[in-house]
Structure 1
Amino acid sequence: MIGDEPSLRQRWLGARLAELRREKAFSLQEASRRAERSIASLSRVENGLVALPPRDVRPLLDAYGISDTDLRETLISVAGEVQAERRGWWVEHDDALSPSYLDLVRLEAAATGIHTFENGVFPGLLQHPDYAHAAVRATGSVDLTDEELDHFVSVRRQRQQVLTRDEDPVAFHAVLHESLLHQRLGGSEVFAAQLGHMLECAQRPNITVQILPLETSAHPALAGPFTVLSMARLDFVHVELMTSDVYIEDPASVRRYQDAFATLGDLALGPAESTRLIADKIVTTV
């Protein structure tokens, strides 16, 4: 089953624990003795095959002599997030979604902030249902049945709940290349509905939308779209490719994307000017 695949954060936690063990120069046998866990159990944890609950992280760190408070809190927090992943709404869709897409859904649900740059289609979290149908068809999913397409769009709409939930809606900041305002994906009626939906979203206090003008020829995202997802203790970058997804977790690399997004925000029109531009485009579209 697809849903049995270990999540991104589960793999991250296992790899980080293995790294800490090696830094202490402990063999698996020695670590097993110190932690009073079987070698097989430790190996499965380190390979991300088993989710280690928070209560079991503390004694393992104690056994390794890890006293760094910030590091301990990070690992325990991530273990809690991994545990929570098994109770999300997405569990009922495990068999229909790819592991990499499930990772995105899980990260969005746990994120405190999401920063995204797009130049091909409007971000999935801001898509009108009709536009979402057109976008999925246009980006290569031509073999989907109507039922499969409806299900995929339904999942996308459920993802959008992170923006509107009553408790701690995620802070979402999108910088969109102005070329998006000239790509009438789905036809004029669908496109106008999408632009109107964007304006409605931009009215929410937790959502910021900026437009990067066409004349901005040089900017740090010429390589393409990306999304920075900020958790309580970890940050990840998601890059969607045509047939797969890439997740970047190295802190130095993540910072480069964060810096790039900050520059994009400086180059883009302000939120008020951006919404006026979108509103003007609706007038010329309908």
Structure 2
Amino acid sequence: MPNQRARPTLRRRRLGEQLAARRDEAGLSLEDAAALMGWDKPTMSKIENARRHISTKEVEDLLGHYGVTDHAFIGAMSALARDAGKKGWWAGFGTLGDSYQDLLSVDTDAEAVRFFSPNLIPGLLQRGAYARQVINASAITRTDEDKDALSRLRLARQSVLERSPNPLRLWAVIGEAALHQRFPDHTAMRDQLAYLLEVSTRKGITVQVMPLDCGGHPGLAGMFSIVSFPSPWPTVVNLENLRGGTFVEGTNDVTIFEEAFEQIVATAQSPDESRETIKKIMEEKHS
């Protein structure tokens, strides 16, 4: 059962972090900032810790007190305050863990994502039958009803690849082992590989295969995704596991994963070679 005291949304947390950073840059204490707005210190603390709503007008006034004059930044913060309390489009899919809601929020706000996935087709590229087989196997604490909802949600999540005017750009390096996976539903893998071939030709989507005989590379440490956002939001890394996922932030940590991804891309087959590999495996193993 998810924690009933759900943590604040990722958007609200990001807003709080940015406001705290601007306050620090202005050389103001919590008490100083609160006094400028006619608040008490606990109110200011709750805002920075994403435990209290703040209006767009309050954001603009606060940033004015901090001496922020970048109109694009002020606009981005105001938009974040406006959207922070809104229910996500996924609200109708049942009870979801905090980390999964964060992931869906990230998909919605991101402009590009880079995956390394050694054993699975990434969720944003999964087809219905394959997605259900993966969820059946991995969502070990979920009911059949939950699994149905998660399967539908996974497909709905892919709308970001076709959104207008700025579809999500995606670059996926997939381990060859993922292409050999077999499920009780024997058509699931063939349909998945056929879809992978089709989607790999779309503008803004790159698919590479990491061959089994490639030798050593940084991806041996496990799967990860690197998510980039429009300015002013920093790039983050998502590490997925059976309990959901963990976001890694901070320039130094993110840079390590970006450098690792560059080496992984250089080691993997080219996109054209990868399509040939996918086609061959589909014909030989899943016909």
- Is TM-score (shorter-chain normalized) higher than 0.5? yes
- Structure 2 CA distance for partners of 1:111 and 1:92, relative to 1, 3 Å: same
- Secondary structure class of the residue paired with 1:173: strand
Which structure 2 residues correspond to residues 13-162 of structure 1 after superposition, within 5 A?
13-66=15-68, 69=70, 73-74=72-73, 76-81=75-80, 83-84=82-83, 86=86, 88-93=88-93, 95-139=94-138, 141-162=139-160
How far, CA to CA, are the matches of 2:253 and 2:72 in structure 1? 22
- Which string of whole-angstrom CA distances, capped at 9 and with x for unpartnered residues, describes residues 126-180 of structure 1? 11111111101222x2342222111111111110111122421111110011111
5+ residue gaps, structure 1, are none
Shift of 1:195: 0.7
Shift of 1:229: 1.1
CA contact (8 A) 1:2 1:99 kept: no
Q: Which AA in structure 1 matches 2:36? A: R
Match of 1:12 in 2: 14
Over the aligned positions, Cα root-mean-square deviation in angstroms equals 2.3
How far, CA to CA, are the matches of 1:162 and 1:145 in structure 2? 27
Match of 2:210 in 1: 212
CA contact (8 A) 1:113 1:229 kept: yes
Q: Which AA in structure 2 matches 1:46? A: E
Shift of 1:4: 5.7
Match of 1:193 among 171, 191, 194: 191
How far, CA to CA, are the matches of 1:135 and 1:272 in structure 2? 27
CA contact (8 A) 1:113 1:171 kept: yes
**TM-score normalised by structure 2 residue count:** 0.88
Q: Which AA in structure 2 matches 1:56? A: E
- Which string of whole-angstrom CA distances, capped at 9 and with x for unpartnered residues, describes residues 6-28 of structure 1? 12232132133224434544332
CA contact (8 A) 2:10 2:105 kept: no
* Alignment partner of 1:221 is 2:224: no
- Secondary structure class of the residue paired with 2:220: coil
Shift of 1:186: 4.3
Q: Which AA in structure 2 matches 1:121? A: L
CA contact (8 A) 1:112 1:232 kept: yes
**TM-score normalised by structure 1 residue count:** 0.89
Q: Which AA in structure 2 matches 1:156? A: R
Q: Which AA in structure 2 matches 1:108? A: D
How many aligned residue pairs are there? 281
CA contact (8 A) 2:133 2:183 kept: yes
- Structure 2 CA distance for partners of 1:74 and 1:104, relative to 1, 3 Å: farther
The percent identity for this pair of structures is 31
How far, CA to CA, are the matches of 2:243 and 2:55 in structure 1? 33
Shift of 1:75: 6.3
- Structure 2 CA distance for partners of 1:185 and 1:260, relative to 1, 3 Å: farther
